[in-house]
Amino acid sequence: MSRGVRGATTCTANDEKQMITNTRVLVEEMIEKNNIDPSDVSHVFISVTKDLTATFPAKALREIQGWTYVPVMCMAEIDVQNSLPSCIRIMMVVNTDKSQQEIKHVFHNEAIKLRPDLIKGDLR
């Protein structure tokens, strides 16, 4: 069965190093909390808000051992009035036997405001 694993983080500046670092930390926690093996990942979509243009956050996944062949695509998040700025959102599609309720979604920094109902008492 395929399941989506959500993640999101924010940056304090449109800075390549910060975007890569924040994305990598987020993805590594998504991997750890859900016991994800890269061979079980169908694909990963990463969206960024219009104010983050310094780099492609997908580069962060290329730094993680074993993730070379995982298809990753970056895209622009729709520009909704009053939405969370400087945000990187991730949708990782994995093959798993876990139920939807067992998936642990991960939100960092200001992105915890996006889905507080999914954080399950694990604030970062």
Question: Measured between alpha carbons, how far is 25 from 108 in angstroms, rounded to an integer?
Answer: 9
Q: Is 15 exposed, middle or buried (0-12, 13-18, 19+ CB in 10 A)?
A: middle
Alpha carbons 21 and 18: distance in angstroms, whole number = 5
What DSSP state is assigned to residue 109? G
- Residue 89, marked binder: yes
Per-residue burial over 84-116, b if 16 or more Cβ lie within 10 Å, else e, is: bebbbbbebbbebeeeeeebbbbbbbbbbebee
On whether 124 is known to bind a ligand per the annotation, the reply is no
What residues are designated binding site?
6, 89
What residues are designated binding site for prephenate?
6, 89
